[in-house]
Amino acid sequence: MSHNSFGHLFRVTTWGESHGPAIGCVVDGCPPRLPLCEADIQPFLDRRRPGQSKLVTQRQEPDTVRILSGVHEGMTTGTPIALVIENQDQRSRDYGEIKDRFRPGHADLTYELKYGIRDHRGGGRSSARETAMRVAAGAVARKVLGPDVRVRAAMVQLGDDRVDRSNWDWAAVDANALFCPDPAAAARWEERLLAARKAGSSLGAVIEVVAEGAPPGLGAPIYSKLDADIAAALMGINAVKGVEIGDGFAAAALSGEDNADEMRMGADGRVLFGANHAGGVLGGISTGQPIVARFAVKPTSSILIPRQGVDRHGRDVEVETRGRHDPCVGIRAVPVGEAMLALVLADHLLRHRAQNPDAPSEARLPRN
Amino acid sequence: MSHNSFGHLFRVTTWGESHGPAIGCVVDGCPPRLPLCEADIQPFLDRRRPGQSKLVTQRQEPDTVRILSGVHEGMTTGTPIALVIENQDQRSRDYGEIKDRFRPGHADLTYELKYGIRDHRGGGRSSARETAMRVAAGAVARKVLGPDVRVRAAMVQLGDDRVDRSNWDWAAVDANALFCPDPAAAARWEERLLAARKAGSSLGAVIEVVAEGAPPGLGAPIYSKLDADIAAALMGINAVKGVEIGDGFAAAALSGEDNADEMRMGADGRVLFGANHAGGVLGGISTGQPIVARFAVKPTSSILIPRQGVDRHGRDVEVETRGRHDPCVGIRAVPVGEAMLALVLADHLLRHRAQNPDAPSEARLPRN
Amino acid sequence: MSHNSFGHLFRVTTWGESHGPAIGCVVDGCPPRLPLCEADIQPFLDRRRPGQSKLVTQRQEPDTVRILSGVHEGMTTGTPIALVIENQDQRSRDYGEIKDRFRPGHADLTYELKYGIRDHRGGGRSSARETAMRVAAGAVARKVLGPDVRVRAAMVQLGDDRVDRSNWDWAAVDANALFCPDPAAAARWEERLLAARKAGSSLGAVIEVVAEGAPPGLGAPIYSKLDADIAAALMGINAVKGVEIGDGFAAAALSGEDNADEMRMGADGRVLFGANHAGGVLGGISTGQPIVARFAVKPTSSILIPRQGVDRHGRDVEVETRGRHDPCVGIRAVPVGEAMLALVLADHLLRHRAQNPDAPSEARLPRN
Amino acid sequence: MSHNSFGHLFRVTTWGESHGPAIGCVVDGCPPRLPLCEADIQPFLDRRRPGQSKLVTQRQEPDTVRILSGVHEGMTTGTPIALVIENQDQRSRDYGEIKDRFRPGHADLTYELKYGIRDHRGGGRSSARETAMRVAAGAVARKVLGPDVRVRAAMVQLGDDRVDRSNWDWAAVDANALFCPDPAAAARWEERLLAARKAGSSLGAVIEVVAEGAPPGLGAPIYSKLDADIAAALMGINAVKGVEIGDGFAAAALSGEDNADEMRMGADGRVLFGANHAGGVLGGISTGQPIVARFAVKPTSSILIPRQGVDRHGRDVEVETRGRHDPCVGIRAVPVGEAMLALVLADHLLRHRAQNPDAPSEARLPRN
């Protein structure tokens, strides 16, 4: 049963509210004897950290992670790894006015209807602040995957403006504040996003996540298919409204012959593919090709432009959200998307090993 | 751990291969004292059944379901409900030629890489035949949801041709072989699909699934959000490559103010929404609005047009798939999509009750 | 969530009522490429089968098992294995009189209180008939464990009469109808049990289960310790009221120095133990020694001697149970206990592999 | 999958090592709007706390618990409750000598064989220190159960010396350092335990746990029966080797007629029982009677009397355990046993509600 846990064998449980004393997670099922220290985790948190540019929320959180258990003399022990980050820059007074009112597009109303109570401060549990722990856990997942599996993400669309894929440069991604792989698009987007912020508005985005080097065979059909688990992982990120694998929705418009990823044998017994429309997953199982997924993030719901809402007492109210917010939550969703894909892959790697101890690590034929 | 189980409290485990003696499922966790008999399930299976028109596979399967346990004198008892369908029209000889070769776009290769063995006959476990049991289980899920929750689906795009939403007519959906809600589109599509079949090709599709009447509060944040579970449920259907909720990918192109689903109070304390861009889910929890999701189905991989593939021995081969196939697997995915949404909702209804026994069944304020 | 499922990675889901058309199970997560056919399972069912001697129920069930999925050309494929046994000798008329009355010591009342409905025929789902599927699944588990792991059980106490351990002979166990390892005790017990049956009474028993050859390292501390899972597995067998590991309750009376299982090194790096008070489990993890557990079975509740009970209408009634019953349900619990231990070990073997792929298969030092 | 999580709907995940910076847990699935603060939890921790008498370890830990999430303005919010206790009195230097050697009867060897690494300081993760978090979580579980359900425990046997049940006085339990309900026995035991400590030896114990007021219907047959889950919960406590429900092992020696808990109707529709041999559980479901379980704790393995062991290098060594230890770990297992029973009941209460929302809270007939 997962309310606040993710994964089965490599299992992460998170806790904490946006304006509580701390947030944290427990990583359970991590294999023993992997080198791990805070310095392995901190860089990923730093990429997601708020307050780093004019394009994200101005909340200042150092997001310094501490490992409280599960590591002995720099090595994982196989016991649960507790990670914790203390919250520092809570300015809950900004949120007094939303204590009793429900912001359109937010989880305020649904938490109230579900639980009859909510910690309104900064969105409480529903805040994207929780995703810091996903990024931290994702860093541990990368250790499980090992150096041969590379998980990266980039923003490929801001509002209705897409990158030009012929300009794709992974090196550019960390060189701009929008994780954009196309330098020309990055320049356009920055201008556009500042204008939206100034107008008190917000923008949506599409993120692409890619894992290279993942072995074939990952995925537990029928009901924990790799792509189904990726879909849940990405759709579960705050503000995400769509997920696709490989060609995704565009695949619906292809003919069967165009969609076929033809195969031929390489010199060394490796299976070579002519294309990757499938995004690295067939029948819910990885092929050994790059795993490619995209997810759509809606525009930030917290905006300064007044909208019609309701309050706890059943009255109509006008809502304009103060506090510090991201004009495009899609930006900080980039490292979160990476982390979620790493978590799914690490979990499936352990699951695959359990049932198939002699499984090959490459798509090579004949199998045995 | 789910390999072949779906859901937590309302939990379905399926078994069976396309050309084995039978397929079946166990529905565990069903509440007691619900009236249930085969006649409650059979109509849903009949909608999905092969061999009903020129537009689907010609395999003739009556798909007659039998209840073997969990029902006593026409009522569920709270014990596991076993459902079984005997396979009848297996023509495994058609598949002899794919015994050793891997069809592009199919699960043949990935099952081989994962398991080192596969039941090749008709695709074995990876065949969409398995989805018959999802439809059967979905019929039981509808009993749990009760008559006030209505789950329906329709095909909204064939290839690159979309329905005209101004023509939408739910009554039309069951009046054509394509589950198309737009009669004009249905006529175009039928012609197009027959042409594709004749050419030995295939087409993709997009399906929309809608649940009306579901109570607010369903969804278990953070890691079993309602939309995340819907995403997994739909992405896990054979040949699906994309899933979206509400406005989905289009939401990325909206501004924050346009995407906001404004609210006001109705006369009786009900919350009224001005729009449903969110597709009935906020913060991973249902709002009480219609739940709207769409999924993209790739064109059938089994085509008569030869494609380049490989075989078990590591040799290049040309593959052209004989056997009986659907020229558009999206058609029969329509009742399957409905079933999956019903399964997710039934599971979350039970989960919600467990943690919140006094939860309201409508979006009404003040809550208490 | 387990209502009717057992295990995590090697997972068994059973279904069926005592007097329904059939009983069955789905074995999910079985590794691929293990040879498996009905003949591997049937002998274990035959040991548990009713109607074989005067000492057990006279219901005649051939208990012929059929494999409906998950096996291709005599090998497991990694997909779910469905097993089914058709019920044949239901004599439900015998149970008409218990339709509305609750037998003392039975699940009749509790099923009614929980579900408000029950299939009374032969005890319905609560009947020990369900354990046939545990035995069938246990036979598959043995395949996973391989020939080096030997799981056996014997009855060590009937009523208050214990075996003399100095007479222990595993070969004797299958030579008498009571699975007694002490031929002298077997003779006494047979006489005693026939007398109890004649008197319309019943007797309890204690069963000992032993697994030899299980590797060290099995068990997932803290909350799925090997001994905790064994305890649940055995306590969950019908009519069981106590479980112990190793010295069990007797360990409470030992001093710390007497209870210590001292160790020394064998010539080849193996750890040799001076004793096995711990029953092969320390800290919830197997040591590599024989795993030894015992469980106590209460006397059969269905007896001909009238007892005071109540009925569905809230009236006092006298209950004397007709129908065909075992005078000592402990007898047929012997193969069931073996099966449950095999299931726990197979599940933990897969779990152990997932987290520790390079784990040693023997207690040998230094580990690396 | 539970490595370090316990429960399904009311789910506790613990983390932390004996000598790490802190220990903690996450309580997930707790219903919202229950009053909860540290003062609700601390008294239970104080009962289990070390250093309180000469009869337990002299480690001084204030065990002050902090709530870091899931509670807002003194009420649970339905989101995960993080609890943490900082370790203070770690004297790891005491344990230097066991860094490389495996103590007989301890988890040292099995952790090493399983993981190839271990945090040896104070037993690391295998230390009973972890049980503090069970007690903390158990205090939250009591809130879920409500004031009508009373969960208590007492020590009923020290070494081979049992209490006289005719002297049973619940008020006495908290009046002596051994949680003994029989004042006469308490005096004998104290003397005996001090002698054992002085001799460098240790003693075992048997604990009885009783829950009064639990509703009928709890328990999820077939594979999460209430008694099976209790058995796992209690067997999973450190050093426990046996568990029994109701009459337990003694039931094996009863005749069927003596073991029957006869029933008759009370004036108000309540079912009255003549006895409780079954310990409040029939068919794996609670009857509404007191739930009674016992568990046996082996003598502390850490003793000053030298025993033969081995070390990491595969050498024979003599082990005598310094450090601060309980001469009878059974004493502090008393509050832990209570907590585990409360956790099982809270989880099953939520599960029961989910599947049976209109289930009665008392054993009353007719049910409807």
* pLDDT tens digits for range C317-329: 999 887 677 899 9
Q: List chain C residues with CB under 8 Å of D113.
A: 216-217, 285, 287-288, 359-360, 363, 367
Average pLDDT over residues C79-83: 98
- Interchain proximity B13–C3, CB inside 8 Å: no
Average pLDDT over residues D36-54: 91
Closest to B68 (Cβ–Cβ): which among C21, C117, C124?
C21
A-chain residue closest to B303, CA distance: A256
Question: What's the confidence (pLDDT) of residue C155?
Answer: 98
Closest to A78 (Cβ–Cβ): which among C31, C79, C355?
C355
D-chain residue closest to C5, CA distance: D223
Asked if the model's pLDDT at residue B97 lies above 80, the reply is no
Closest to D22 (Cβ–Cβ): which among A20, A68, A115?
A68
From the list B242, B320, B309, the residue with the least C-alpha distance to A254 is B242
Indicate the burial class of A313 (C-beta count within 10 angstroms; 0-12, 13-18, 19 or more): exposed
Separation CA B52–CA C360 (nearest Å): 57
DSSP bridge pairs for B303: none
Q: List chain B residues with CB under 8 Å of A117.
A: none
Average pLDDT over residues C81-107: 85
D-chain residue closest to A15, CA distance: D80
Answer yes or no: is D2 a known binding residue.
no
Give the distance from residue A116's alpha carbon to the nearest chain B alpha carbon, in angstroms.
Answer: 6
Number of C to D CB contacts under 8 A, please give it.
419
Name the interface residues of D facing B (CB cutoff 8 Å). 1, 9, 29-32, 78-79, 221, 350-351, 353-357
Q: In what order do the strands lie in the sheet with B81-86?
A: B5-6, B11-16, B22-28, B81-86, B65-67
* B171 SS3 class: helix
* pLDDT tens digits for range B220-269: 999 999 999 999 999 999 999 999 999 999 999 999 999 999 999 998 89
Answer yes or no: is C114 a known binding residue.
no
Q: Are D212 and D149 in contact (CB under 8 A)?
A: yes
DSSP bridge pairs for A27: A12, A81
Question: What's the confidence (pLDDT) of residue A173?
Answer: 96
* pLDDT tens digits for range C192-224: 999 999 999 999 999 999 999 999 999 999 999
* pLDDT tens digits for range C20-33: 999 999 999 999 99
* pLDDT tens digits for range B107-152: 999 999 999 999 999 899 999 999 999 999 999 999 999 999 999 9
Q: List chain C residues with CB under 8 Å of D264.
A: 308, 310, 316
Separation CA B283–CA A240 (nearest Å): 10
* pLDDT tens digits for range D270-298: 999 999 999 999 999 999 999 999 999 99
Question: What's the confidence (pLDDT) of residue C94?
Answer: 63
Separation CA B152–CA B132 (nearest Å): 17
Mutate to test the interface with B, among D355, D361, D368 (most CBs of B within 10 A): D355
D-chain residue closest to A5, CA distance: D28
Neighbours of D (≥3 Cβ pairs closer than 8 A)? A, B, C
Question: What's the confidence (pLDDT) of residue B89?
Answer: 76
Q: What is the DSSP letter of D261?
A: -
From the list A38, A66, A11, the residue with the least C-alpha distance to D21 is A66
Question: What's the confidence (pLDDT) of residue A97?
Answer: 74
Q: Does the CA dihedral C32-C37-C39-C43 come out positive or negative?
A: positive
Give the distance from residue B251's alpha carbon to the nearest chain D alpha carbon, in angstroms.
Answer: 28
* B271 SS3 class: strand
Give the distance from residue D344's alpha carbon to the nearest chain B alpha carbon, in angstroms.
Answer: 15
Question: What's the confidence (pLDDT) of residue C98?
Answer: 79
Does ipTM surpass 0.85 in this model? Answer: yes
Q: Are B291 and B199 in contact (CB under 8 A)?
A: no
Answer yes or no: is D99 a known binding residue.
no
Asked if the model's pLDDT at residue B70 lies above 90, the reply is yes
- Interchain proximity B351–D354, CB inside 8 Å: yes
Answer yes or no: is C2 a known binding residue.
no
Give the distance from residue B311's alpha carbon to the nearest chain A alpha carbon, in angstroms.
Answer: 8
Indicate the burial class of B83 (C-beta count within 10 angstroms; 0-12, 13-18, 19 or more): buried
* pLDDT tens digits for range D208-261: 999 999 999 999 999 999 999 999 999 999 999 999 999 999 999 999 999 999
pLDDT 10s per residue in chain A (368 long)?
679 999 999 999 999 999 999 999 999 999 999 999 999 999 999 998 877 788 877 778 899 999 999 999 999 999 999 999 999 877 666 667 778 999 999 999 999 999 999 999 989 999 999 999 999 999 999 999 999 999 999 999 999 999 999 999 999 999 999 999 999 999 999 999 999 999 999 999 999 999 999 999 999 999 999 999 999 999 999 999 999 999 999 999 999 999 999 999 998 899 999 999 999 999 999 999 999 999 999 999 989 999 999 999 999 999 988 767 789 999 999 999 999 999 999 999 999 999 998 889 999 999 86
Segment (H or E) for D242: strand D240-245
The pLDDT-based confidence of D322 (bands split at 50, 70, 90) is confident
Question: What's the confidence (pLDDT) of residue C368?
Answer: 63
- Interchain proximity C222–D130, CB inside 8 Å: yes
Give the distance from residue B188's alpha carbon to the nearest chain A alpha carbon, in angstroms.
Answer: 15
Answer yes or no: is C301 a known binding residue.
yes
